[in-house]
Structure 1
Amino acid sequence: MSRPPSSQTTPQFYRVSERDLTEIELHSVDSINDLHRTHHEHSQKGSRPPRPAYIPSPNGNLFTCDVAAVNQRGGPLSRKWQTRLQDMLTPSSSHAYAMGCAIVTLLLLTVLLIFYFLVQQGGAIQMLTAAVREKEATAKELSLLIQELKAQRCNQTAQGGER
């Protein structure tokens, strides 16, 4: 195992009682049994048991690892995602070109969508304007008809009074 660089903090040791160690061992055995029960491909002979999350020292103290080192020891799935994320975030010319193309495409699609809705709204406004003009023409025609009816009624009452 390599020594930590001088910039890191020195490891801290805590005294762990025999009872706590026994409890940790029993818990580890239960976890390994659960693993064998759920993952049969790992329970064959010759497979290695999982590495403990702690490093025991000969004097019975429990050595605590720093969190950064523990996080770097993720499983193959987390490493796969870490490399994917790192590849996505690392600037490269092809990556920058692809991102630029994607951004330009999204902007063009947004502009096209805006123009499409504006054209749709323009067509709707033209239809509404034509409907309003037709309604005004109908209203004028009705008012002329009402005036004619009034004039005929006046004529009819005047003729009815002459008889």
Structure 2
Amino acid sequence: MSRPPSSQTTPQFYRVSERDLTEIELHSVDSINDLHRTHAEHSHKGIRPPRPAYTPSPNGNPHMCEMIAVNQSSHPVSSKWQSRLQDMLTPSSSRAYAMGCAIITLLLLTVFLIFYFLVQQGGAIQILTEAVREKEAAATELSILIQELQTLRHNLTAMRGGT
């Protein structure tokens, strides 16, 4: 018997309840724990004691505290941070575009700040140059005044001596 071509091309999806997912997860954890118990020589040095088997409540669902323990043991905190870090470092077109824009913006901001400080330094150099010129002019004028005073003193001494 052959199937119609339409059933071969369309995938079929089945709805899985939360209860079924929880039971699958619990059985997976139990299987992993059993593997660790039976193959202790292959496990890591820091061996944890096996998790006690769960007992379902009268309605067939596991107790809430046990569900939390299973969720915490199946998703360690370090792997959560590692996956987030890996997601941040994985290049995607929108993330790469955003990172490129951020880098270019930072570079342009840096160049702008460098030119801003160079212009400020240029203004400060102009002010200092003017102050040095004024000081040189004042020093020149002071030296001329000193020469005139020496000449007057010399003349005054000559007049006193001649009288």
The answer to whether the superposition gives a TM-score over 0.5 is yes
Residue aligning to 1:109: 109
Residue aligning to 1:79: 79
**Cα distance in 2 between the residues matched to 1:103 and 1:109:** 10
Cα shift at 1:96: 0.9
**Cα distance in 1 between the residues matched to 2:35 and 2:157:** 114
Residue aligning to 2:93: 93
Any runs of at least 4 consecutive aligned residues in structure 1 with deviations exceeding 4 A, and if so which? 51-54
What stretches of structure 1 of length at least 5 have no aligned partner? 1-47, 68-72
TM-score normalised per structure 1: 0.56
- CA gap of 1:156–1:74, structure 2 versus 1, over 3 A, is farther
Q: Does the 8 A contact of 1:54 with 1:65 survive in 2?
A: no
Higher strand proportion (structure 1 or 2): 1
- CA gap of 1:105–1:74, structure 2 versus 1, over 3 A, is farther
- CA gap of 1:161–1:74, structure 2 versus 1, over 3 A, is farther
AA of the residue aligned to 2:42 = T
Q: Secondary structure at the match of 1:55?
A: helix
Residue aligning to 1:62: 40
- CA gap of 1:124–1:74, structure 2 versus 1, over 3 A, is farther
Aligned pairs for 1:1-40 (under 5 A) are: none
2:141 paired with 1:141: yes
**Cα distance in 2 between the residues matched to 1:145 and 1:94:** 76
- CA gap of 1:102–1:56, structure 2 versus 1, over 3 A, is same
- CA gap of 1:56–1:155, structure 2 versus 1, over 3 A, is same
Residue aligning to 1:18: none
Q: Secondary structure at the match of 2:40?
A: strand
Q: Does the 8 A contact of 1:56 with 1:63 survive in 2?
A: no
AA of the residue aligned to 1:161 = G
AA of the residue aligned to 1:124 = A
Question: More relative contact order in 1 or in 2 (CA 8 Å, sep 6+)?
Answer: 1
Residue aligning to 1:150: 150
- CA gap of 1:158–1:116, structure 2 versus 1, over 3 A, is same
Residue aligning to 1:29: none
Residue aligning to 1:127: 127
- CA gap of 1:62–1:81, structure 2 versus 1, over 3 A, is closer
Percentage of identical aligned residues: 64
